[in-house]
Amino acid sequence: MEMNVSNNEEQVVAKKMGGLNPVLIIPILILIGIAIYLFVLGSPGNFKADPRLSGLSSVSFSDVEAKELHPDGFLGIIYMGGPIVPILISFMIIVIVFAIERFFVLRKASGAGNLDNFVSKVRTLLNQNRIDEALEECDAQQGSVGNVVKEGLTTYKALAHDTSLNKEQKMVSLNKSIEEATTLEMPMLEKNMMILSTLGTVATLVALLGTVIGMIKAFHALGSGGGTPDSAALSIGISEALVNTALGIGTSAVAIIIYNFFTSKIDGLTFKIDEIAMSIQQSFAEFH
């Protein structure tokens, strides 16, 4: 069993090293989102000609009242969404980056070749008690399912030659080995999924905050000016509210779709692991 412990330790180390570190990546992505808001969306070229904007960077917009800015395109309109927009842009970037990261991690976890063919072949070999050949298939698979199955088959071989335990004890030990291997693989598969799930909810709430702020500005414009509403300020407030709503809904929808997609992939891998685990136990019960 010393070999099993060593394998487990190696797997634990691998899981700690796998995937992106959100503590480091998320602040960088937020800064990128703010930079996009200031220097891409806030480029003077996205607004109609104004002497005060000529040759200035987007940071200088702080010297110009919002109602005096006239967007000249979609990017300028998004910029007018106000201070909540860079947060929502950052959320969208985070969703995209971690979606790409999960795609490659789960692709690697699926291993080489067709997973269904691997499961079918290993089950056939188990039914024939050809354990060594099944282990070779696990080495060739190089995925999470192959790792778990290999750990189970390694324990299978060790228990087959163990005379100190009765059959019931061997079955318990075999089942425990498979469960431990599965437990070690799952963190790698589920890592950073909580980020996608959280942003799927939080993006909508943050967008709602931006919408409320925009509507407050709009109603303030209605109530100011001694009975004559400031139409420019009113339109800016309503535009800000709608831009935030659109960005929030879009980000939330993308995050939820991606989260559910990857969750179904993880569930599929888990099902394959459970399927082969049952075959290993049945094979051991039949031949030993």
Confidence class for position 254, pLDDT limits 50, 70, 90: very high
The C-alpha atoms of residue 141 and residue 257 are separated, in whole angstroms, by 29
Amino acid 10: pLDDT: 44
d(C-alpha 81, C-alpha 83), whole Å: 7
Could you read off the pLDDT of 108-147 as tens digits, one per residue?
Answer: 888 888 888 888 898 888 888 888 888 888 888 888 888 8
pLDDT at residue 157 in the model: 85
> Who wins on pLDDT, 219 or 30?
30
* Per-residue pLDDT at 14: 43
Work out the number of other CB atoms within 10 angstroms of the CB of residue 167.
11
pLDDT tens for each residue of 264-279:
999 998 898 888 888 8
Predicted local distance difference test score (pLDDT) of residue 134? 87
Q: Where along the chain do its domains lie?
A: 2-41+81-287
SS3 71: strand
Do 77 and 69 form a contact (C-beta atoms < 8 A)? no
- The answer, as to whether pTM is greater than 0.95, is no
Q: Are 99 and 259 in contact (CB under 8 A)?
A: no
Residue type, 288: H
Q: Is the pLDDT confidence value at 42 over 90?
A: no
* pLDDT averaged over every residue in the chain: 83
d(C-alpha 230, C-alpha 183), whole Å: 62
137-189 pLDDT, tens digit per residue, is 888 888 888 888 888 888 888 888 877 878 788 888 888 888 888 888 888 88
Average pLDDT for 6-25 = 60
Look up tokens 């989260």; give the residue: 259
Q: Is residue 47 scored above 70 in pLDDT?
A: yes
52-68 pLDDT tens trace: 665 555 545 555 666 66
Identify the pLDDT of residue 197.
Answer: 95
| pLDDT score, position 16 | 43
- Which residues, in sequence order, are CB contacts of 32 under 8 Å at separation 6+? 90, 93
Which of 4 and 65 is assigned the larger pLDDT? 65
More confident residue, 69 or 136: 136
Determine contact, residues 37/89, Cβ cutoff 8 Å: yes
Q: What is the pLDDT of residue 71?
A: 80
Confidence of residue 1 (pLDDT cuts 50, 70, 90): very low
